[in-house]
Structure 1
Amino acid sequence: MRLFEAMRAARVPVVIADDWVRPPFVDWSSCCIMIKENSIGELPQILRKLESRAEQIARNARSEWERVFGEENFFHHTVEAYLLILRAREKATTTQKLSRYAKVVRAPYGRMILRTLKDKVLGR
């Protein structure tokens, strides 16, 4: 959520992640700074090196937000993203599907959801 708020406010989004799944349709390389997780200690130096480009990156962020998430295109891009997700799920192997569910189960809230469902099924 904060990523999109930064884009809308014409600020430079900084994403610190190794395996970030980029939302589709956005030219992330032009409007975002991406930092590897193991480079977090170098963040101040990295940002200082990019300071001269900050205004342009911020303008690009706002421009991309308008182009993809703005009033005229939001519905279209939302539907297109949904269709991409459906296609990917249809192509997923059983192992990939189980892996996705396993990630949810390993999350703290995932266990809570499963316990709640189990209790409801068992009538507790």
Structure 2
Amino acid sequence: MLQMTFKVGEMLEFSWRQDRPVVVNERMFSAAVLARAALIAVAHTGQTITYGGLSKAIDGLYHYQQLGRLLDVVSYDCFRRGEKRSLAALVVLSTSTEPSYGFVHDDSVQMADYQRLVQLDWQ
């Protein structure tokens, strides 16, 4: 099993979403482990994955319309590991090549370029 940088019961606070801390429960922890593994695999292939695809990859632990907090946790884990960019950038809307409006990143970099850099980080 993948090691995470947080544990069940821990409260995670996000600098990019200060009003929405998350207390990690067993379900969130399991989903984060599965999501990280799936997103690393996606990055290796140079692809992206839809929210629906990620929901399936995490065995439906969260519905595709309820992945926001999980993706914040994934981003938190990436940054806590010292990774420059978040794997969450690879989760995109089925109608576009970009993440939902809730994804926060460095606006000085175009999303497609940011996604490519994430993919290159894992190749």
- TM-score, length-normalised on structure 1? 0.29
Higher-strand-fraction structure: 2
* Larger Rg computed on CA atoms: 1
Query: TM-score, normalising length from structure 2?
Result: 0.29
**Which structure dedicates a bigger proportion of its chain to helix?**
1
